[in-house]
Amino acid sequence: MDATDFSVSDIEDILGHHPYGSDVSLIAVMEELQARYRYLPQDALILLSERLGVPLSQVYSVATFYNVFSLVPRGEHLISVCLGTACHVKGGDKILDKIRRELNLESGDTTEDYRFTVEEVRCLGCCSLSPVVRIDNDTYAHLTQERVPKVLKKYQPATGE
């Protein structure tokens, strides 16, 4: 499924898994929606508001409060580059630059094929392992510029895909 596809039937399916009428169901539905589309499409948020009987302003309040949610399409793989103090001192900014060069990201944070989204974070809670990069749920400690291409290759499609 392309990150920008949206289907009303998908939303109805997601809503069918959750009880209506509580803030907990709103967050749970939004989490599932985010997992399916890798972002929260505007039309889907409007539909959620209507179906759950929650004001659209409250839906957007939740969507913008939690950093796990995104209002713009994200890539299949989320790359979080730590630029906190320890990582910055150990070259986190150089790691970020190397990742951007490897992925041909001159501007913007998501590759054209929606394979990768790169974000800067202030701390991943691994200061003793700096510089640190997290890709999806995998953490790479003491990362060097030289290791970046090999790490990224793990997330590239196999030849012929």
pLDDT recorded at residue 10 = 83
Same domain? For 50 and 16 the reply is yes
Same domain? For 51 and 17 the reply is yes
pLDDT recorded at residue 112 = 92
pLDDT recorded at residue 107 = 64
Number of domains in the chain: 2
Same domain? For 40 and 85 the reply is no
Last residue within a domain, chosen from 65, 92, 108: 65
Whole domain around residue 39: which residue ranges? 8-65
CB 58 within 8 A of CB 29: no
Same domain? For 91 and 148 the reply is yes
Same domain? For 143 and 100 the reply is yes
pLDDT recorded at residue 106 = 73
Regions in the chain scoring below 70 on pLDDT: 1-5, 19-24, 107-108, 159-161
Asked if residue 72 is part of any domain, the answer here is no
Same domain? For 60 and 82 the reply is no
